Amino acid sequence: MGRIIAVANQKGGVGKTTTTINLSAYLAELGQKVLTIDIDPQGNTTSGLGLDKNTIENTVYELILGQCDINDCMQNSIMDGLKVIASNVDLSAAEIELIGISEKEYIMKKAVDKVKDDFDYILIDCPPSLNMLTVNAMTTADTVLVPIQCEYYALEGLSQLIRTINLVKNRLNSDLEIEGVVFTMYDARTNLSLQVVENVKANLKQAIYKTIIPRNIRLAEAPSHGLPINLYDAKSAGAESYRLLAEEVIHRGEEDDEWR
């Protein structure tokens, strides 16, 4: 049965989208069947995986409003074994359109449950806020993966995020767990990155992935070519780190008990 991972942090620019794109791509490259769901109206995961977000008719917006079946929303991507449910700016209206709809916290879950068994991994890229779309991702997910940027304010907002995850767990999805924290944009040339990692490790009770994603210009360039890093520059340090992260995610899934 597919493992559903929501990639969430209400801070913008911490590497959620970069992590979703490249973790999805490497999981697929390692032979996993992957579905990537973009629920950020910016649609950067959609375009970063080579899809034209403005010409796709059946996006996550139509899915959430019940205007299309999930099987009709899944797009093929440039990689075998990787399907995408796209997003674009239309989705920014979804929150308002959901007002008054019953069980609106579970709309995505009901749709995704239909195809859960068709995939090994389903990754959901969340918007930079704790809104109804993020809540939908968390009711759908088994775990939440939290990218943390190695910068001075890394811990800011983290307790709020963990509170939200616990609230969803207590009230809406008792199975929800924190998958773990992934450090992103690590800069080996500065002491700051190292201090941030040590500070977070000392203050956070959550599981932390061993793989640390370095700051790497190739990771920032790849989306403008509509390519995940494995297809853009597989030899870059950024590519290597996301390949290791994908291996770690698979391994941790297999040894779930040891990990938690």
Q: Would you list the DSSP string of the chain?
A: --EEEEE--SSTTSSHHHHHHHHHHHHHHTT--EEEEE--TT-HHHHHTT--TTT-SS-HHHHHTTSS-HHHHEEE-SSTTEEEE---GGGGGHHHHTTT-TTGGGHHHHHHHTTGGG-SEEEEE--SS-SHHHHHHHHH-SEEEEEEESSTTTTTTHHHHHHHHHHHHHHT-TT-EEEEEEEESB-TT-HHHHHHHHHHHHH--S-B-S--PBP-HHHHHGGGGT--HHHH-TTSHHHHHHHHHHHHHHHHHHTHHHH-
* Among 4, 6, 14, 63, interactor with ligand ADP by CB under 6 A: 14
Binding partner selected for residue 18 from Mg ion, ligand ADP, none, CB under the kind-specific 5 to 8 Å limit = ligand ADP
Strand ranges of the sheet holding 34-38, from the earlier edge strand across to the other edge = 74-76, 82-85, 34-38, 121-125, 3-7, 143-149, 177-184
Q: Which of 16-24, 64-72, 150-158, 204-212 is the region at the interface with ligand ADP (rule: CB under 6 A)?
A: 16-24
Return all residues near 137 (Cβ < 8 A) that are at least 6 apart: 6, 8, 37, 39, 108, 124, 126
Site size toward ligand ADP (CB under 6 A) is 17
- For position 245 contacting ligand ADP by CB under 6 A, the verdict is no
CB of 1 to ligand ADP, least distance (A): 27
- For position 139 contacting ligand ADP by CB under 6 A, the verdict is no
Binding partner selected for residue 134 from ligand ADP, Mg ion, none, CB under the kind-specific 5 to 8 Å limit = none
Q: Which residue is closest to Mg ion by CB?
A: 17
Binding partner selected for residue 216 from ligand ADP, Mg ion, none, CB under the kind-specific 5 to 8 Å limit = ligand ADP
* Among 3, 5, 15, 16, interactor with Mg ion by CB under 5 A: 16
Please identify, using beta-carbon distances, which residue of 15 and 81 lies nearer to ligand ADP. 15
- For position 59 contacting ligand ADP by CB under 6 A, the verdict is no
* Among 154, 213, 227, 245, interactor with ligand ADP by CB under 6 A: 213
- For position 18 contacting ligand ADP by CB under 6 A, the verdict is yes
- For position 224 contacting ligand ADP by CB under 6 A, the verdict is no
* Among 98, 104, 128, 151, interactor with ligand ADP by CB under 6 A: 128
- For position 47 contacting Mg ion by CB under 5 A, the verdict is no
Please identify, using beta-carbon distances, which residue of 91 and 213 lies nearer to ligand ADP. 213
- For position 22 contacting Mg ion by CB under 5 A, the verdict is no
Please identify, using beta-carbon distances, which residue of 81 and 238 lies nearer to ligand ADP. 238
- For position 219 contacting ligand ADP by CB under 6 A, the verdict is yes
Furthest C-alpha separation in the chain = 52
Binding positions for Mg ion, rule: CB under 5 A? 16-17
